[in-house]
Structure formats: structure tokens, C-alpha cells
Structure 1
Amino acid sequence: MPDPPLNLLTDIAGLRVGQATDLPLGSGVTAVLFDAPAVAAVTIRGGAPGGRDTELLRTGATVQAVDALVLSGGSTFGLDAAGGVQAALREQGRGQRFAGITIPLAPQAILFDLRNGGNKDWGRFSPYRDLGYAAAVAAREGHFELGSVGAGTGATTATVKGGLGSASGVTAEGHRVAAIVAVNAVGSPLVGEGPWFWAAPFERGNEFGGLGFPPRFLPEHSRLRLKGGPGTATTIGMVVTDAALTKAQAERLAIMADDGLVRAILPSHAPSDGDTVFAASTGLRPLADPMAELAALGHLAGQVMARAIARGVFEAAALPCPGAQPSWRDRFG
């Protein structure tokens, strides 16, 4: 019998999740390592994205599979994290052969968390390469923490503290789909001033409070709420499935998963967001009916992404620094 689901990305067999958290810095890194190279793609809808090796995930690019995917705080300083993950993979003998050289591939997305009150006076070199290495070395199967950890450590939103979330589900055909996401949106995950989540229709059990929607919707509930300051945002994440997909199919999965981001955060994909969603396939279960089953996978991917976003906010805690943004639990108990 398979293990009971954890409602986490690690419900997908063939991958491990590792995190490195630096609370005084107010930032961190989350690394997803695949046991075997995974077919991967990306969709980038935010107006101010940042990433490393995301171009090789385009459907027209030659590379089909990657060894890891990396989520990091730190804005462009955080791009050093993928180098740390790559170093750990190289020590493990991981990578793909190019011109006779073994090269680990670890595409990355970053979010902006430089104005959250943490100590960013790190000297000449940023700490993100070391954080990336630590996250990769820590990668494990099974349970991992949510909230103000890893790439979600310093995340914020327009209304409450952001964080790292995850969720999983199974299609009618038995394919698993799971999401992991660092929620640092310029918009809000809450209906009005809360406590309700825009993702409420997709909630399983009470995974983010079980509060549903307000008794009735008022015009002020959908009023524009934006986090202050330019370049302070970005929600980054991924969905992974055990279904065997081509790179083009993985791109479609990423696009449909991104719809879950839109359902969970209002507004999304703003000019100062860098919203980026990866999709990956471990290829363990073939599709019997590719057209219908890919639609079912995408339908579920949007839901697990929305749920993961709400869970990340629900589980977050305020940073231990003066003036830190309150968490959902600080405000609503």
C-alpha cells in the first residue's frame, strides 16, 4: 500500500525537498531535487521576473530535463543560490553529460524580499550560494515545514505575511499532482481585509482554516490592495506530477497551474510582480488518453497551486524584527 498523502510536494515519488532559512537575514532558499532528470517547463507572467536558466525550459530549447528546481529570496542577489545547489549536486555525482562534461541543471526563480526588516548588510558576497548549498544538502523525502521557511522566509503580501506553501491531489486516473510556492505577492490572498482566502472554494478539510467565503460579498472586498514600494513582490512556485509528459505538455501544465495563482491572489501578474511557475514530470505513470488526462492534470494543478498559496500564508509567522508585517495568525488567531 502507498504511504498516506502528506498534502505536500513530496507526495510525488522521485523527488526530495530541502530548505535553508536565515531569520536574521529575513530570507532563504528552497530546493527541489529530482532522483532522475525530470522533464520541465516554465511560464512567466509577472512584469518584473528574475531567474536563472529559465530560457532552457522554453519548448523550443534543446534541453528536455533538469536535475533540480530552485526557489529563492534575495532578488537578483538570490540568483547565487542555484550555484550552491549545483555544487551540491556535483558532489553527489549528479548532472547531465554535455560535450563529455557532467553538468547539473538547476533552473531558478527569485522573489524580492529585501525590504522586510531583515539584516541585508552581508558584506562583499551575498549568502545565497551557501544557502542554496545548505538547502540541497538538506533535501529529504517526506515531511517538510511550511510558512516562514526557505524561500518563503521573508515573503510578504499586501495584507499579511507571506510564506512557503504546498498541497497535493490525485486525478481520477490516479496521477498525482502537487505544488510548492513562495507567496510574496504585490496583491492580497485575502478577501477584503480577511480572514477569508480567495482560494477558499478549493480547500481540502481545514488546511487553511476552513472559513470559506464571507456571508456575502461587498464592493470593498475586491478593492485594489497593493503592497507599497516598487519591485517588492513576486510569487514563485512549481507543480510536479508523476504523469509522463513531454516538454510541451509540461508547459501546458505550468500555464494551467498559473491559473491557480490568479484564483488565489488579487491582483496577480502586476507590473512589479515577477510571477513564475515551473512544471515538472517525474515520468513514472504514462498517459492512456493524453488530451483528456492532460486537461485533468491541469485542472488539478490550478487547484493545488491555489491551495498551496493559501497554506503558505496561513502557516506563516512574522519575522523577528521591528516593524515586521503581521501574519494571518497574528491578525485572526
Structure 2
Amino acid sequence: MRPGPRNLITDVAGLRVGNAHDAGLRSGATVLVGDAPFTAGVHVMGGAPGTRETDLLAPDKLVQEVDALVLSGGSAFGLDAASGVAEGLRAMGRGFAVGDVRVPIVPGAILFDLLNGGDKGWAANPYGPLGRAALDAADADFELGSQGAGFGATTMDLRGGLGSASAVLESGVTVGALVAVNALGRVCDDAGRFHAAPWELADEFGARGAPDFAPDWEPYGDRPPGSATTIAIIATDAALTQAQATRLAVAAHDGMARAIQPSHTPLDGDLVFAAATGARPLADPVWDALRLGHAAAACLARAIARGVHAAAPGGPPPAWAERFGSG
């Protein structure tokens, strides 16, 4: 397993990512859009999720493909970012055909960043325009860290951020992860060594080595219920059914648990979408699906560390680079 050429989720051909944020608001939105509709699934493991159109991703539902997936800050207000994306896609003529009408299918998930010190006293919800701006910015290349949905994100003791990573399997299948890290838990130890270190490739988040797991450590902090959440997308060019995409999302949660301690708490809304473009049929539907799940978990753990590692100064809390240096 090796990183793709960009080490981004957009190493999956046909996918683009766009980010938009408002520095005064200290929040933003991120969109994953395909050149064509793609199969998608979802799995929620946190106790306080905020979502849009996730019910239609169940394998027994009519619509089997989506046009885009959205990650946003703003708590429930941020769900409007998907409306901005849908408006932009409609203007492009994209969407599920119902007679002569096109309805873009844009599931989304949000994280809570309303208490991070930004100006939240808006007169009109800003997230629709942020979603549209993110769609307009969509490209194969994009920045990590304090970008898009990760702009105002935090962890227990460090600034959060937007992360991504990819891997190419021996079969030639590509897997990628995109994540906005806004966790109640911690992503590294007191020396800045990431919990995801065993899965690091090519020194992508500092090569600090294995962390001290401190088994007697207990979570601390005073965040109110529902004020955290790590939201992610796993993508692949494999041909998957909606049921298989859902299983891929389930497997990817292992990566979240490896990289964030604790994860999937009652106070987080931790969620993973899965996206499959269908370019590469699985030679072995059982073992290749298993390998995909393993790669997805490893990619997500790496993406989480990369997002925090790349966060820019501008807290509180401090960015990783402020506390531990730029290495």
C-alpha cells in the first residue's frame, strides 16, 4: 500500500474537493463533488450527529447515487451549506431526474464550532453561500489544515483541521479519506506524537514516532453535549453497491478510533460517508472488500493526523505547530 500521487482523496479519479471559510465567522464548508453521480453510503457512531439526506443512502431506497457530499461547520445551521451546493449543481443541470426537473442529491453532515470565538451573530444564515463558494472552488488540488469545514475545528487540546490521505492497493484500486477533525478527544500525546503514527506513510505528519498511549489517561474538558464531532468521507474507484459502500463506511470508523482517543463518545456526532465511483470492478467481492475496509481505516487515521498537523495558528487552542514545532 502506497500513497497516491497527491496523497489526497482526489487521487480517486473523477472527484474534486472545494473549500470555503469565513475568518470572522471562524467556520466554513467543504464539498466533495463527482464529475458524475457516484454511489454513497453512511454510518454514524457518535451520540450527537447532525445530518441531511442520510436516510436515502440506505440500500433499500430509490436513489442509489448522489451528486455531492458536504461537510460543514455551524452545527444545525451548517446543514444549509448543502442547499448552496444543491443550488449550484442545479444551475449546472445536475441532479436526479423527476420528469423534466432535476433534483441534486446532496447529503451532508455538520460539526459544532459555535463556541470557538467567531462572530456568530449573523442576520442571515451564512452557510448556504459558503456551500456554493466551496462548490465553485472544487478542484483536484486543495489545502489541508485550517480550511473549509475544518477552519474553526478544535480537539481537546489542539486546533483541529481538514485532513486527507490516499492509498493505492496492490490491485490498483485507490482509496482516499477526507475529514474535518473537531473531536472531544486527543489526537496525540504530550510530546506531539500522533496516535495514528503506526499508519503514517512518507513522514506525512512529522515522523515523530509512536506515542505514549498513557492507559491511565482520562478525558477532561468542559464541552457541553453535542459540541464536538469528527465527520469524514471515504472514497474509492472500486465498483460498490450501496450496501458495500455502507460496509466500507463502517470499517473506516476503525481509523477514527485509532487516531482519536476517545472517539465515538456520547458528546460527538462522529460519522463517515463512503463514496464509490465504480471505475474498477472487484475481482473478489469478499476479500477485495475486506482489503478496501482495511485501507479505508488506515487512510482515515492518517487523514486525521494530517489535518491537525497542518492546522494554522489562530486559536485558542494552539495549533500543533505552535505547541510542538514545524517538524
In the superposition, the TM-score normalised over structure 1's length comes to: 0.94
Q: In the TM superposition, what is the alpha-carbon distance from 1:177 to its structure 2 partner?
A: 0.1
* Deviations 1:250-269, CA, capped at 9 Å, x for gaps: 01100011110011101111
**Equivalents in 2 of 1:243, 1:218: separation in Å?**
38
The equivalent residue for 1:83 is 83
Give the CA deviation at 1:227: 5.8
Q: How many residues are matched?
A: 323
How far off its partner does 1:38 sit?
0.3
Inter-partner Cα distance in structure 2 for 1:292 and 1:66: 26
Structure 1 counterpart of 2:58, one-letter code: R
Where 1:79 maps in the other structure, the secondary structure is helix
Q: Contact conserved, 2:149 with 2:162, CA < 8 A, in 1? A: yes
Aligned counterpart, 1:239: 234
2:223 is matched with 228
Question: Secondary structure of 2:153's match?
Answer: coil
Aligned to 1:209: 206
Is the CA contact (8 Å cut-off) linking 1:188 and 1:226 kept in structure 2? no
- Separation of aligned partners in 1, 2:48 and 2:93: 35
Counterpart amino acid of residue 250 in structure 1 = A
Q: What are the equivalent positions in structure 2 for 1:1-333 lying under 5 Å apart?
A: 5-123=5-123, 125-141=124-140, 143-191=141-189, 193-214=190-211, 218-220=214-216, 222-226=217-221, 228-319=223-314, 324-333=316-325
Q: What are the superposed Cα offsets for residues 48-70 of structure 1, whole Å, 9 maximum, x if unpaired?
A: 00011011112222211000000
Query: Following the alignment from structure 1 to structure 2, what is the Cα–Cα distance between the partners of residues 67 and 217?
Result: 40
Cα RMSD after superposing both structures: 1.5
Whether the 8 Å contact between 1:40 and 1:66 is mirrored in structure 2 is yes
Pairwise CA distance, 1:18: 0.6
C-alpha distance in 2 between matches for 1:205 and 1:17: 23
Amino acid at match of 1:153: F
Higher mean C-alpha displacement, 67-76 vs 16-25: 16-25
Aligned residues of 2:224 and 2:267 also touching (Cα < 8 A): no
Contact 1:187 1:226 in 2 (8 A): no
Secondary structure in structure 2 of the residue aligned to 1:290: coil
Deviation at 1:230, TM superposition (A): 2.8
- What is the one-letter code of the residue matched to 1:32? L
Q: How far does residue 121 in structure 1 lie from its aligned partner after superposition?
A: 1.1
1:205-250 Cα shifts (integer Å, max 9, x gaps): 2111101114x65445x43245633321000011000000001110
Distance in 1, Cα, partners of 2:201 & 2:26:
30
Q: Helix, strand or coil: the match of 1:161?
A: coil
Q: Which runs of 5+ in 2 are unaligned?
A: none
SS at match of 1:158: coil
CA distance in 2, matches of 1:35, 1:292: 29
Q: 1:80 to 1:256 in 2, by over 3 A?
A: same
CA distance in 1, matches of 2:139, 2:222: 34
Contact preservation (8 Å) 1:159, 1:190: no
Percent identity over the alignment is 56
Aligned-partner Cα distance in 2 for 1:219–1:272: 21
Q: 1:239 to 1:218 in 2, by over 3 A?
A: closer
CA contact (8 A) 1:186 1:227 kept: no
CA distance in 2, matches of 1:246, 1:219: 40
Code of the aligned partner of 2:17: V
Whole-Å Cα distance in 2 between the matches of residues 157 and 227 of structure 1? 12
Whole-Å Cα distance in 2 between the matches of residues 292 and 230 of structure 1? Answer: 39
Q: CA deviation at 1:98?
A: 2.2
Supply the distance in 1 between the matched residues of 2:226 and 2:313 (Cα, whole angstroms): 21
| Residues 281-327 of structure 1: CA deviation (Å, up to 9, x unaligned) | 000011111101000110000000000000000000233xxx62101
Q: Distance in 2 between matches of 1:17 and 1:228?
A: 30
